[in-house]
Structure 1
Amino acid sequence: MNTTLFERLGGEAGISSIVDDTVDAHMENPAISARFLPYKDQPERLATIKKHTIDFFMMGSGGPANYSGRDMITAHTGMNINPTEYMHAIDDILLALDKNNITEDAKKDVLAILWSLKGMIISQ
């Protein structure tokens, strides 16, 4: 029997841990930290962003979630994220997946999702 990506990522708890680890990595990554460090002083806003990210990945991976955040284009409009920054963000996500012992097959599936979102995020 095949398992969903949601299950292979460890369900809600696993995805929550991956998101927490990713945000921590983004804050430590000198190439993109300037975009994330201001949220340290806005814990409510950071919690909302994490919640939306968790729900987005739960829903997109076959889990039981109701994503109520903005679409990717609207969420990233005005940020002018360049391709290099996007690749750094992906690298941080892959590091978080490694930290959470996610299988290579599941990492490939996550990477495919991230790559599919690229055009909705870069240069908006």
Structure 2
Amino acid sequence: MTKSLFERLGGNDGISAIVRRAINIHMENPDINARFLPYKDRPEYFETVVQHSINFFNSGSGGPAVYEGRDMETAHKGMNISPTEYMCAIDDIFIALDEHKIDDDTKKDVLAILWSLKGMIIAK
């Protein structure tokens, strides 16, 4: 039997570690960090955003978490995220996946999901 995406990403602990690392990489990335650095001044809100992101990836990969955040269009409305910024975010996620030694087939599945979300996020 084939493992679910959730299992291949390391379950609850793996997804949490990957998402937290990806967000830290976003904060270090000069191409997109302006969107993330203001969260440093609001640590409680920042942790809420991180937890929503973890739950989103967990739930979307077949895990048990329940995502209770806003839908992607509503969450990104007014942000006017460019295609370049979106690609930078994807690149950062892939750095985190590589650091966690996620295999290529699993990374392809993650990319397919991220690509499916782009129309809900870019230029909203």
Q: TM-score, normalised by structure 2?
A: 0.99
Q: Structure 2: which amino acid aligns with 1:67?
A: Y
Cα distance, 1:40 vs structure 2: 1.0
Match of residue 59 from structure 2: 59
Matches within 5 A, 1:38-117: 38-117=38-117
Match of residue 16 from structure 2: 16
**Aligned partners of 2:45 and 2:68: how far apart in 1?**
15
Cα distance, 1:65 vs structure 2: 1.1
5+ residue gaps, structure 1, are none
Match of residue 119 from structure 1: 119
**Aligned partners of 2:20 and 2:56: how far apart in 1?**
14
Match of residue 33 from structure 1: 33
Cα distance, 1:77 vs structure 2: 0.1
**Aligned partners of 2:106 and 2:50: how far apart in 1?**
21
Q: Structure 1: which amino acid aligns with 2:92?
A: D
Cα distance, 1:41 vs structure 2: 1.3
Q: Give the length in aligned residue pairs.
A: 124
Cα deviation per residue 1:80-119 (whole Å; 9 max; x = unaligned)? 0000000000000000000111111110000000000000
**Aligned partners of 2:48 and 2:98: how far apart in 1?**
25
Q: Structure 2: which amino acid aligns with 1:66?
A: V
Q: 4+ residue stretches of structure 1 with deviation over 2 A?
A: none
Q: Structure 1: which amino acid aligns with 2:107?
A: K
5+ residue gaps, structure 2, are none
Cα deviation per residue 1:21-72 (whole Å; 9 max; x = unaligned)? 1011000100000000011111111110111111111111011011100000
